[in-house]
Amino acid sequence: MNDSPGWATPGSPSDGEGAEGTQPPARPAGDQKWSAEQPPPGQWSSPGTGASDTPATPPQRPQQGAGGRSYAQTGDSRGYGTPYGGQNGTGGAGGGWGTWGPPPAAKPGVIPLRPLGLGEILDGAVTTMRTHWRSVLSISLAVAVLVQVFSVLVQKYSGDRLTIEPGSQARMEDFSDTSALLTLAAYLLQLLGGLLVTAMLTMIFSRAVLGRPSTVGGAWRDARGQLLRLAGLTLLIGFGAVTVFVLLILPGVLAGNLGLGLLGGLAAAVLVTWLWIRISLASPALMLEKATIRTALARSSKLVNGSWWRIFGITALTALITALVSAIIVYPLLAVSVALFGGGLEGLADGTALNSWGSLILTAIGSVIALTITMPIQSGVTVLLYIDQRIRREALDLELARAAGLENYGADATAPPTGG
């Protein structure tokens, strides 16, 4: 198994075979470390209650076939439940660990190697930023500065052109043409910057899961081979979203029916949201599995299947958190810039409040700080969601443990976990 950031093996148990014709990692079959003779169900008790505290034989770990039993099949969203002890790990008819619960998972890096909860996903993203701050913040800061410098120049140039000759038809035409080109260039630069951040941070987060350090140069070397495919994936998703809106709104526009147009817009928003979540894991699948665009989209769809609402909730909450963080940073600086350099309320009224260099620069500083913090959080949550879904469906935790150097992890239920 390759222990590089591309450790992921394409394919899932339901696929028959992966994207490259390989079977996914399977949990070890027939682990016989425990005694085959087990006490009847329901005889486990909590520690500290007398002679029954120590069972005559330890509980038997569930056997699994070559395809591995996914956490999603156990009926427990955490992945414990039925395999390790009756209903949700409480003993009962299934026997097992009882009130002791399952053994702690190893944690070689920023997350434990088991199905993750919401808090663990968010904590993993923040912990990676804190632990590997040199690499993470260097990438996001460099991209944020580049994007904001260009945006400030575009806003200043466009604002000056609009203000200097407001009544000149020729000037307004020149402004419209030039502004459109500059705005398009600014959007393209933001797109390229976002692609670069996504690609490189995906590699850093994948190493952080294994407890390994990362450098900016190493992340670039790992990511550059997939950059063109990632760009193609991003453009395809964007083009698809625009196409859906056009096709569903166009009938109302052609018919001159406002209600029909609004209904089409609402339907387009719902459909695009559903598709967006469905393919939200395509980017990490493409980068970590070295997959093609088509394969990455198919992998994302299969990983999200059955977990759409959960992934939607985590994604929406992450977007809300990052929006609040951005607002807390940007809006106070925006208010200060308007008060100091934009003429206050008069500047807001005549539209010149943000045309001065002082206003633009101060606002851009706030945007740089906000982007430097929020871009890694968004990228990290997406990568950890991808890893979480593969742990639940494909027993990826065993592959990650081996890549992290944990020998015989999962083969010996009595082995103590490794802290990280």
The H or E element spanning position 228 is helix 227-255
Decide: residue 21, CB within 10 A, 0-12 exposed, 13-18 middle, 19+ buried: exposed
pLDDT at res. 100 = 52
pLDDT at res. 308 = 97
> How far is residue 261's CA from residue 264's CA, in Å, rounded to a whole number?
5
pTM: 0.73
SS3 at position 87? helix
Residue-wise burial string across 379-418, b where 16 or more C-beta atoms lie within 10 A, e elsewhere: bbbbbbbbbbbbbbbbbbbbbbbbbbebeebbeebeeebb
pLDDT at res. 104 = 76
> How far is residue 232's CA from residue 29's CA, in Å, rounded to a whole number?
40
pLDDT at res. 191 = 82
pLDDT at res. 317 = 97
Residue-wise burial string across 241-252, b where 16 or more C-beta atoms lie within 10 A, e elsewhere: beebbeebbeeb
Those residues of the chain that have pLDDT short of 70 are 1-103, 159-180, 182, 342-344, 347-353, 410-420
Amino acid at 312: F
pLDDT at res. 224 = 92
> How far is residue 9's CA from residue 127's CA, in Å, rounded to a whole number?
25
> How far is residue 367's CA from residue 329's CA, in Å, rounded to a whole number?
8
SS3 at position 397? helix
Amino acid at 220: W
> How far is residue 83's CA from residue 115's CA, in Å, rounded to a whole number?
14
196: Cβ contacts below 8 Å, ≥ 6 apart? 139, 143, 227
pLDDT at res. 290 = 94
> How far is residue 321's CA from residue 325's CA, in Å, rounded to a whole number?
6
Nearest to 241 by CA among 279, 298, 202: 279
pLDDT at res. 110 = 94
Residues, the chain: 420
